[in-house]
């Protein structure tokens, strides 16, 4: 009888262990605008601009530009989004059930800390990482680190961007990459456009303030481009 009980306990525990990975893979990692879930290993190919959300986060909006492709996976409780090609924009608050959220490009790994940023991957596997607000950490993929023999890391702050490629990271430069806009709602809801306009207005106000602090006089703005007086004659 004792041997029989031990066998039954062993079978029961084995079943529990086997069920854990299955349960983990059943957790949706992302969701489309219509609510369709995306599970581990799920790949999203965007024929047009596509909006996704990350369940469990306080707030999230992930936009894939037309022609882009991304694959979702979990590595040790870390949500990873592999940008197979194209451009992705991530706007997220809170990590939800994950210890970290990382976007992996052709050469870079960008760790989310509650922010709005963009990663664009070109055909040479060179990534441009642009931060609108918040903070992100940019580092090279492990294969490139092994080749170069060094592991540089850059912490971007608002209004900055950097590029990462097989030869390493470039110098940080001011933000110049445009935001991706969510496709218009069939009902004519302009909420997303209003949010994007508010972000762009904030960027413009910051640029104006910086110019004024530097002693420059802003005489006009056209489409978000600052127009300054011509320099005085020599």
Domain assignments of the chain as residue spans, ordered by start: 23-174, 191-227
Residue 130 forms beta bridges with which residues? 118, 161
pLDDT grade for 171, boundaries at 50, 70 and 90: very high
Mean pLDDT in residue range 56-71: 96
How many CB atoms sit inside 10 A of residue 45's CB? 14
d(CA 76, CA 99): 8
23-174 folds as Jelly Rolls (2.60.120)
* 11-25, 42-56, 80-94, 107-121: the lowest-pLDDT one: 11-25
d(CA 39, CA 24): 10
Which pLDDT tens digit goes with each residue over 189-224? 544 555 555 555 555 455 545 555 655 444 333 333
CA-nearest of 80, 57, 160, 65 to 121 is 65
DSSP character at residue 217: -
pTM of structure: 0.72
135-140 and 153-157 strand pairing: antiparallel
Asked if the model's pLDDT at residue 8 lies above 50, the reply is no
């Amino acid at each position: 009888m004792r041997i029989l009980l031990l066998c039954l306990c062993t079978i029961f525990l084995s079943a529990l262990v086997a069920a854990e990975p299955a349960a983990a893979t059943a957790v949706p990692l992302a969701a489309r605008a219509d609510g369709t879930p995306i599970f581990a290993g799920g790949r999203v190919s965007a024929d047009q601009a596509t909006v996704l959300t990350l369940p469990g986060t306080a707030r999230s909006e992930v936009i894939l530009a037309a022609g882009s492709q991304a694959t979702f996976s979990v590595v040790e409780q870390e949500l990873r989004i592999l940008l197979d090609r194209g451009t992705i924009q991530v706007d997220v608050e809170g990590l939800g059930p994950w210890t970290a959220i990382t976007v992996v490009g052709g050469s870079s790994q960008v760790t989310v800390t509650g922010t709005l940023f963009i990663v664009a991957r070109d055909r040479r596997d060179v990534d441009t990482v642009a931060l609108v607000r918040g903070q992100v950490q940019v580092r090279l993929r492990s294969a490139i680190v092994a080749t170069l023999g060094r592991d540089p890391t850059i912490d971007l702050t608002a209004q900055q961007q950097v590029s990462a490629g097989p030869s390493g990271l470039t110098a940080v430069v001011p933000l110049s990459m445009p935001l991706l806009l969510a496709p218009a709602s069939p009902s004519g809801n302009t909420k997303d456009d209003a949010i994007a306009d508010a972000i762009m207005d904030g960027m413009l106000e910051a640029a104006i303030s910086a110019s004024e602090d530097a002693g420059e006089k802003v005489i006009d703005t056209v489409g978000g481009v600052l127009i300054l007086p011509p320099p005085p004659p020599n």
